A and B are shown apart, each in its own frame.
Chain A
Amino acid sequence: MSAAALPAGAGATLDVHGACLRLHGEWVVAEAEGLRAAVVALWPGLPPGRLVVDASAVSEIDGAGIQLLVALGQALLATGHDPVLRGAPERLRRAAAALGAGDALRCCGMVVDASEAP
């Protein structure tokens, strides 16, 4: 299953490709409202079970982006998904850690892909 990339705003998009939710661009406060709407719009297309959240193409992130990722992780867990965060850039990990939302094994409520854990 795949879905066309939903533009969340000028600098951020996300799409579903198989069992992978791919995040792109700038997950920052200016894009937060559009990103949230895009996540909600994509929600019906998310496959059940294990879902990889691929953050490798996130180019920028701030506290609002982390808040949205935490909300995403919570919503996925609450609806029976098994989210795995993959490819989180260093800046995402740093921002999450600064906010108490992540460590080496978990980030924004999601399990960090085992292949990336130390």
Chain B
Amino acid sequence: MTGGIDIGEAVAAFMVEGRDLVEQLEAGLLRIEQGHDRGDRELVNAMFRAAHTIKGSAGIVGLEGLSRFTHHVETLLDRVREGLATLEDAQLTLLLQCCDHMRALIIVAEAGDPSGEALEAAGQDILTRLGATPGGPRPVTATIPGAAGPVAGFRLWAAFGEDCFRDGLDPAAAMAYLAQRVADLEVVLAADRIPPL
């Protein structure tokens, strides 16, 4: 692979996209709070997708604090959509506070604090009340054995899973993004795996 990712451009785009996604998540929570069916799978799935995308995109652009924090929101919504948990009133209130906190994390990131250190204590307080384990997963780093300097390139093979749409990942967006940045990209549509009408 050649060419670099314009991370500044990606961060700027995320600041806009991230706010939109937080708004989508918040709008879903407010609908439920105002009486909408708590068992509406489409709505819960949409909220999960928003949280999943925020977590993933934030991680990609280096907003580690937001990514880690949103991981807990995503985990709770995943449990709800799997039928392992229900959204009680107290959790709705806390999730709405999570939205405020996620928005605040974006603001401090714009101000030069991408890890969200300034808001760490407040975030942990919300997560504790949400029943999550503060801190959460840390970024995984890896080294390439024998690579003393910059790596000239690598080959990546990937296939999108059956749950990608359900999990909030749009292969079209992902491949369009890669196509701009990968020198030699081959895309094969597994047409025989497409669910029939």
Q: A residues near B, CB below 8 A? A: 29-30, 32-33, 36, 39-40, 43, 61-64, 66-67, 70-72, 74-75, 94-95, 98-101, 109
Contact = CB atoms under 8 A, between A and B. Distances in A.
A95 B170 CA distance: 10
Contacts of A66: 172
B197 A100 contact: no
A50 B46 CA distance: 37
Nearest to B188: A100
A100 B175 CA distance: 9
B187 interface: yes
A75 B164 CA distance: 23
A109 B165 contact: no
Interface string B151-177: 000000000000011000011110110
A61 B172 CA distance: 9
Most buried by A among B164, B176, B188: B176
B194 A67 contact: yes
A63 B164 CA distance: 10
Contacts of B188: 100
Given A63-B172, A98-B175, A32 B165 contact: yes
B145 interface: no
Contacts of B189: 70, 99-101
Nearest to A63: B172
A64 B174 CA distance: 13
A94 B197 contact: no
A64 B170 contact: yes
A75 B191 contact: no
B197 A62 contact: no
Contacts of A64: 165, 170
Contacts of B195: 67, 71
A63 B171 contact: yes
A94 B170 CA distance: 14
A99 B172 CA distance: 6
A95 B165 contact: no
Contacts of A109: 191
24 contacts: A29-B49, A29-B170, A30-B42, A32-B165, A40-B197, A61-B172, A63-B164, A63-B171, A64-B170, A66-B172, A67-B195, A70-B189, A71-B194, A71-B196, A74-B194, A75-B196, A75-B197, A98-B172, A98-B176, A98-B187, A99-B175, A99-B189, A100-B189, A101-B191
